[in-house]
Chain A
Amino acid sequence: MKRIMTVDDSASMRQMVAFTLQGDGFEVVQAGDGKDALAKLDGSDIDLFLVDLNMPNMDGIELTRQLRSMREYKFVPILLLTTESHAEKKQEGKAAGATGWIVKPFEPAKLLAVVNKVMR
């Protein structure tokens, strides 16, 4: 089963994401911010990261950068959750090594489509 880590400081957002993904047969690991995400990584397989851009402690860009510097997660797809007003943030995210982005707000179907787009 594919494992997806969702990193978001909003519990309701995480819950929504987890609910949708689990419904489609994914295993979901949750983290509240970048620091929490790194702490919860134990080198085990994560097939995809869903990372919110704006988070306290460590934001999505920094988390992306950190993940890319780790041997285990260098090539794992990372999707940033962003809002449409963030054109330049998208660029910054890409530069940090993000694979793609999902524009908030999104429908569950859209989330699944994008997740399946970047993950084999």
Chain B
Amino acid sequence: MRIAFKSEALDLLPELDTALLALEVEPGDTELVNRVFRAIHTIKGSGATAGFLHLSRFTHRLEEAFELARAGRLAVTTNLIDCGLRACDVIREILEMDGDKEAEATGERDVTEALTRLVPQVAMPQKAPTQAAPLQPASDGRTAYEIVLRPNRELFCSGTDPVTLLDELRELGSAHITARTDEVPVLSSLDPESCYLWWEILLVTDRGEAAIKEVFVFVEDDCQIRMRMLADQASALAVLGTVPAESLALFVQESEDHLASIESHALALERDSTSRESLDALFRSVHSVKGNTGVLLGQIDVATLVPSHPLFQLKRIAHALESLLDPFRGAGAKALARETVQTALDTGDAMRGLLEHLVRQSPATALPASLRQRLELKDDAVAPEPPSDERLAAFVNTASQCVEMIGGCLRSIESDGDAAASVYQTYVRGLKTLAAAASYQQRPDLEEPVAVQLRVLEAAMQAGGAIGQEDRAKLTGAFQSACTALERVKQGSGEQPHETPAATGKALADGVGTARSTSTGPSTIRIEQEKLDRLMRVVGELLVARGAFPVLAQKLTLGEDASIVAKELKEAGAGISRIADELQNSVMSIRMLPVKTVFQRFPRLVRDLAQSLGKEVHFAMEGEGIELDKTILEQIGDPLVHLIRNAIDHGLEAPDERTRQGKAPSGRVTLRARNEAGAVVIQVVDDGPGLDSEALKRKAVEKGLLSLDVAASMDDVAAFQLIFLPGLTTAQKVTDVSGRGVGMDVVRNNIRNLQGTINIQSKRGSGTTFSVKLPTSLMISKGILLQAGSEEYVLPLGSIRDMVKIPAEAIHQYHGTRMVQIRGEIYPVYSLPELFGLPVQPSPEVSVAIVEAGSVRYGLMVDHFTSEVEVIVKPLAGGLEECREFQGAAIMGDGRLVLVLNPLECHRLERVGCA
């Protein structure tokens, strides 16, 4: 390489000489200056890379001078040219030295000095301090930083993949990365070449700030980067540096699930304060939060956490809420008070805030005084708790001492029957300490016998100190059970009647996870054990069925009767096909989640909304167990929120207005999911005033969205569709929550993107129903394979209402549109071959599919229907997504590619074509 450089540089020198001489004649020629500069630049750069550092240093001076000349900040004088020519000689001399040696050439120092004189110091650009100098010396300890990375929208256009930045941060230490998606727009206005995501990163590293800055060195101008040391270093290091990022993310996600459960059960209790199941479920969720927090704390060196750390707070208030709820759980306990339900809801909110603090590693803010009071929390923050095993040891120690003390007292009572007051006092003190410890450790099996003894003793003391035979037996019995309970704790056996943190895993497996936008990393799904077992079983069957084929092949080789083998082959094939179906169903079912995961947040929404609007709402949910594909579920939440908000805000009248109309003062809003012909229908039903079709038309005409005569001939069903026009609202006034006329069009677009449809039924005075029809899965759908012209297409089964074969003369022309009457109803008919410009084959009989898509129904004329097929629809890509008349393409069993029709857009195509 050094030889290659030498020969290249020696070639360059004559070029440099020539250019310099030419420049002497034409000092104003900028191209010549450039040529000189480039030659010097190459020698310097390549020289350094090839290891000629001395040469490179020398050439650097020369380059500096000509760089200034190039920028017009140094005049090209004879002096400069002279320096250049002398420098050439120096370079040549260095290059011609033997082997790899470098030494000072004759006259080199003179040239350097001359150059230094030439280049005025003031003209030198002020160099920024080099990046490499660390802003603070990298301590040998670790530091926790919060980094906010907000790329400009155009980031991708500089060839930067932000993931490389995140990966680099991960290499620096322990990085907890949260992707923020709040700036991602709806799909229709999303520019795929823009970067909408931004990230919050909590990083624990021992490499210092300079190393972090080095990660962003290329993107400083393309991103807003904020970096600061976390205020609470000790806690952040303890949590972030110990707990793997995935565990922490999982903890947050699970806790959020529990909070959702707390909320939904608290609301259920608000409706029915006597519901045991709701109370138990609420209690379990609170307990799980507490337990999980305990487990997390157990992994951390808690002594380093500040007392106000969110984790302590979380555990504290979970514990407090648990204690608050516990008295209501006993048999015959009184029903939960409304205030207690409110406290549970508020505590849930506070917990959610704490989780957010945890994610950001910011110290928790103080709880509202009122909540603290209601939770009966003392003001002082609890001291850091020792890890759970130490805690357990401490507990066992305390409890054993108490039991010993109590045992002594009991013996003295038993012996004299009438012991001194001091004995009683000692007994009670011991019991109280034990009770406190037991309650803190969640040991009701220990708490209960302690409570029995306390009751007996207190009664006895009030009665003057005498303890009867019966009471004595009670005390002894209770003492025995307390001892047994303590023994169980000591052995750490799993027979504890109470759920422990370790046992909550089961509770988690029962609840189904919801995907949260805040969770980082790959999208995960929690699978019910049962579904996985089924999958395993089917795979087992597949392996067995596979065994049939070698046997059959063997039979054929041995020359057995081909027709018999063919029969057996057919059977084996049928078996495989059945297994394939089951396999498909099993895998699909894993992607399926109950709509409950989305529905569960609505009761709270409705409650808060109703309160803020001063309305009374009875909210009911049906069909929460209906399952939908995870992808669809994740995207259906927002449209539903919108529909429910609308239903409550202007779907329902105010209570006094309702009374005036003879309706119950509290309005009903029902959210209902049900299966319907391979699809899922979600309905939002209200019993309000219904949509005013006339008002809708009037508004549309006013806004210039509709002409008067079209409005006049419009029926109600068509008029209801106007609500989906952007900018239209019938709300009398704009409220906080709705009525601005934005949204329904977005709702419809979102649903369309999911290949769903939305329908409105409404009756004046008795309410409105929005029906959202969704495919159960975006991946696999059933369809009818059909022939039109010379082409084959698939028509999704979910959109077909009827399929008939009718004589051609049954189709009539009416105002330029073909119409047909089928089973008493009249439909417009479109010919698929004509729509796509394919050859039309006249035939005495035509096949017509009655298609129902959204609010439109029409007949689709095709050559003939072939068969029912199950296809995996792949969306069209690479510019073809513009062809909206197709949902996508599917590969058939024999490898052919067939386009899948989009019934909604086919219809549109025809209408556009006519207009």
Contacts and interface: CB of A to CB of B under 8 A. Distances in A.
B49 interface: yes
Interface in B1-26: 1, 4-5, 8
Given A12-B1, A87-B128, A94 B221 contact: yes
A99 interface: yes
A69 to B, nearest CB: 10
Contacts of B49: 12-13, 16, 104-106
A105 B218 contact: no
Contacts of A94: 158, 221-222
Contacts of B164: 117-120
Given A74-B157, A75-B156, A77-B159, A100 B45 contact: no
B635 interface: no
Contacts of B222: 94
Contacts of B37: 54
A85 B42 contact: no
Given A85-B63, A97-B157, A13 B46 contact: yes
10 contacts: A10-B45, A12-B1, A13-B46, A13-B49, A15-B4, A16-B50, A56-B38, A75-B156, A78-B159, A83-B63
A74 B63 CA distance: 33
B46 A12 contact: yes
Nearest first, the 5 A-B pairs at minimum CB distance are A105-B48, A100-B218, A99-B159, A77-B159, A104-B45
Contacts of B128: 87
A75 B161 CA distance: 9
Interface in A78-108: 78, 81, 83-85, 87-88, 91, 94, 97-101, 104-106
Contacts of B56: 105
B115 to A, nearest CB: 14
B44 interface: yes
B163 interface: yes
Contacts of A83: 41, 44-45, 63
B280 interface: no
A45 to B, nearest CB: 14
Contacts of B46: 10, 12-13, 16
B217 interface: yes
A68 interface: yes
Contacts of A81: 45
Nearest to A15: B4
A84 B64 CA distance: 11
B168 to A, nearest CB: 7
Interface in B724-753: none
Contacts of A74: 157, 193
Interface of A: 9-13, 15-16, 19, 52, 54-56, 68, 74-78, 81, 83-85, 87-88, 91, 94, 97-101, 104-106, 117-120
Interface residues of B, number: 39
Given A11-B8, A75-B156, A100 B217 contact: yes
Given A13-B49, A105-B45, A117-B168, A87 B127 contact: yes
B686 interface: no
B67 interface: yes
Q: B interface, by DSSP: helix, strand, loop or mixed?
A: helix
Contacts, number: 100
Interface of B: 1, 4-5, 8, 37-38, 41-42, 44-50, 53, 56, 60, 63-64, 67, 125, 127-128, 156-161, 163-164, 167-168, 193, 217-218, 221-222
B159 A13 contact: no
B127 A19 contact: no
B63 to A, nearest CB: 7
B218 A13 contact: no
A83 B8 CA distance: 19
Given A54-B38, A118-B160, A120-B161, A87 B5 contact: no
A11 B4 contact: yes
Contacts of B60: 85
Contacts of A55: 38
A120 B163 contact: yes
B500 to A, nearest CB: 44
A20 B67 CA distance: 29
Given A12-B50, A16-B49, A88-B125, 11 more contacts: A16-B50, A19-B1, A77-B160, A83-B63, A85-B63, A85-B125, A98-B159, A100-B218, A104-B48, A117-B168, A117-B218
A9 B38 CA distance: 10
A56 to B, nearest CB: 7
Contacts of B41: 54, 83
A91 to B, nearest CB: 8
Given A54-B37, A104-B48, A97 B42 contact: no
Contacts of B44: 83, 104
A87 B48 contact: no
Contacts of A97: 157-159
A87 to B, nearest CB: 6
A120 B164 CA distance: 6
A52 B20 CA distance: 23
A107 B50 CA distance: 9
Given A85-B67, A94-B221, A105-B48, A75 B8 contact: no
Contacts of B157: 68, 74-75, 97
B223 to A, nearest CB: 12
Given A10-B42, A83-B44, A104-B49, A118 B159 contact: yes
A120 B47 CA distance: 31
Nearest to A100: B218
Nearest to A118: B164
A99 B125 CA distance: 24
A55 B168 CA distance: 32
Contacts of A85: 60, 63-64, 67, 125
Contacts of B1: 12, 15-16, 19
A12 B221 CA distance: 33
B4 to A, nearest CB: 4
Nearest to B38: A54
A88 B38 CA distance: 17
A77 B222 CA distance: 14
A99 B218 contact: yes
Contacts of B168: 117
A13 B158 CA distance: 25
Nearest to A106: B49
Contacts of B159: 75-78, 97-99, 118
A99 B45 contact: no
A101 B4 contact: no
A101 B8 contact: no
Chain A CB count within 10 A is highest, among B1, B41, B63, B168, for B41
Contacts of A99: 158-160, 218
Nearest to A78: B159
Nearest to B43: A10
Contacts of A56: 38
Given A75-B159, A77-B160, A13 B221 contact: no
B219 to A, nearest CB: 8
A104 B50 CA distance: 11
Contacts of A104: 44-45, 48-49
Nearest to A75: B156
A91 B1 CA distance: 32
Given A87-B125, A100-B218, A106-B49, A12 B158 contact: no
Contact of A101 (B5, B47, B125, B218): B218
Contacts of B42: 9-10, 13, 54
Nearest to B11: A11
A77 B218 CA distance: 11
A12 B1 CA distance: 7
Contacts of A16: 1, 46, 49-50
B272 to A, nearest CB: 55
B505 to A, nearest CB: 36
A76 B159 CA distance: 5
